[in-house]
Amino acid sequence: MVWDADLLDGYVSTEIALPDAPRMPGEPEDVEVVATLVRRDEPRRSRRAVLYVHGWNDYFFQTHLADFWADQGFDFYALDLRRYGRSLRRGHLPGFTTDLGAYDEELDAAADLIAADHDQLVLVGHSTGGLITSLWSARRPGRVDALVLNSPWLDLQGSALVRAVGAPVIEALGARSPTSVLRAPDPGHYARTLHRSLEGEWDYDLDIKLSPGPPVRVGWLRAVLQGQRRVAAGLAIGVPVLVLASARTSFARRWSEDLRTVDTVLDVEQISARAVRLGRCVVVVRIEEGMHDLVLSAAPVRAQVFAEMARFTRGYVPPSAP
pTM of the entire predicted model: 0.95
- The pLDDT assigned to 108 comes to 98
- The pLDDT assigned to 253 comes to 86
pLDDT band at 319 (very low <50, low <70, confident <90, very high): confident
- The pLDDT assigned to 85 comes to 97
For residues 181 and 168, the model is more confident at 181
The proportion of the chain whose per-residue pLDDT surpasses 90, expressed as a percent, equals: 80
pLDDT mean across residues, the chain: 93
Q: What is the pLDDT of residues 210-249, one digit of tens each?
A: 988 899 999 999 999 999 999 999 999 999 999 999 999 9
Other C-beta atoms within 10 Å of 250: how many?
A: 13
The mean pLDDT of 190-199, rounded to a whole number, is 91
Domains of the chain: 4-316 (3.40.50.1820)
pLDDT band at 84 (very low <50, low <70, confident <90, very high): very high
Q: What is the pLDDT of residues 70-81, one digit of tens each?
A: 999 999 999 999
